[in-house]
Each structure stands twice: as structure tokens, then as C-alpha cells.
Amino acid sequence: MVNKIKTCVFISGRGSNFLSILKYSRDYNFPIKIELVISNNIKAKGLIYANKYGIPFKFFSSSNQKNFERNCLKEIKKRKIKFICLAGFMKILSNNFINSFRNRIINIHPSLLPKFKGLNTHKRVLNTKDKYSGCTVHFVNSKLDSGKIILQKKVSIDKNETKKSLQEKILKQEHKLYPQSIISIFK
């Protein structure tokens, strides 16, 4: 694909979803190209991947949200970024920021939304009698984990499921669901 959509991935930690999207994006027909990674955590492992694979990356502190978003917007404009993927980004963006990228910011969440929005998802799921959990890719709007759902993947919860085993099982699915969702948006 010649005109891939210039994309920025926001991370805060491990960066495994970023890495997965990056790998898929090498396919000629994949609709986006990651041209920037932004982290609000200087120690994010994902930054090591960005460095390894030659993707431009920036760390901006998010202790002051206004400054953080100003820095992001400046960099995003400079690089003509048109699409944003949040992948384990642990900061809530302001309405102002979200509105300036309306329908162009997506996120992945490790539950079957609208169930279990917010943090500590797997622990909360296991405290219920639910037989299934999963992951969701959705557009970002002004309410936490509440934007329009793009794709979901269901996984079953086994009898002896632990937080760790559920997290690993779902993460495996996330790595496929996120790229598939990007494809489905732009097809």
C-alpha cells in the first residue's frame, strides 16, 4: 500500500501490543504505518522495541497533563500523524485532545466491554462467576473505555484460571485483535 496512514502509538509499559501492530504493519497491504511512539514512562520496555526497530520515539512526562498533551500535539503535527493507537497507555486523555482526533484514536482493553471498564480487570472478572472474558478494541471518546466497539474476542475462563493465566490467554488474543481491528476500520 503506497499511502499508509501515518500513525502514533501511545504506550506506558511493556509494549507488546505495539510490537504486534508493528509486525503486522510491515505487510504491504496493512493500512497504517507506525511513524512515532510516545511514552509517558521513560522506563517503558516498549521504547526499547521502538529503538530496536528504528521507530522514532519520544518520552514526555505526563505529570502535567496540559504540557504532556501540548508536547504530543506538537510532535504529532510535525510528523503529520493522522491516527493514534493507545496500547497500554495508562493516562486518561483530556476531552480537548480526544476531540481534536475525533474517531481517530483507538484503544485496547482486556475485557468484553462494556463489562469491566477500568483497572484490575482480570482480578475483578475472576471474582465473578463469569464463564467468559476477552478483549475489546474500541474508539476512544470522553468516557473511560466507553467508545464505539470495533472488534471483540471472547475467551473461556477455565475452572482453575488464575489472574496470570487469564492475562496471558487474553494478551495472546489482543496481539491478533488489535491489528485485525485496524484492518477493519480502513477497509
Q: What residues are labeled active site?
A: 109
Nearer to ligand GRF, 9 or 72 (CB): 9
Nearer to ligand GRF, 20 or 76 (CB): 20
Task: With CB under 6 A as the rule, give the number of residues binding ligand GRF.
Answer: 14
Measure the CA–CA gap between 72 and 105, rounded to whole angstroms.
13
Strand order in the sheet with 105-109: 57-59, 32-39, 5-11, 83-86, 105-109, 132-139, 149-156
Site for ligand GRF (CB under 6 A): which residue of 22, 76, 84, 87?
A: 87
Residue 166: all three cell numbers together: 487469564
* Positive or negative torsion for Cα 24, 29, 35, 36: negative
The closest alpha carbon to 6, from 186, 150, 180, belongs to 186
Measure the CA–CA gap between 165 and 172, rounded to whole angstroms.
11
Q: Which residue is nearest to ligand GRF (CB)?
A: 88
Site for ligand GRF (CB under 6 A): which residue of 40, 41, 68, 88?
A: 88
Site string for ligand GRF, 96-115 (x = CB under 6 A): ------------xxx-----
Q: Does residue 171 bind ligand GRF (CB under 6 A)?
A: yes
Tell me how far apart the 2 most distant CA atoms of the chain are, in Å: 51
Report in angstroms how near the CB of residue 30 gets to ligand GRF at its nearest. Answer: 18
Assess contact for 76 and 58: CB atoms under 8 A.
no
Measure the CA–CA gap between 6 and 28, rounded to whole angstroms.
14
Nearer to ligand GRF, 72 or 166 (CB): 166
Site string for ligand GRF, 131-170 (x = CB under 6 A): ----x-----------------------------------
Residue 162's identity, in one-letter code, is T
Q: Does residue 37 bind ligand GRF (CB under 6 A)?
A: no
Report in angstroms how near the CB of residue 32 gets to ligand GRF at its nearest. Answer: 16
Chain residues binding ligand GRF by CB under 6 A are 11, 13-17, 87-88, 108-110, 135, 171, 174
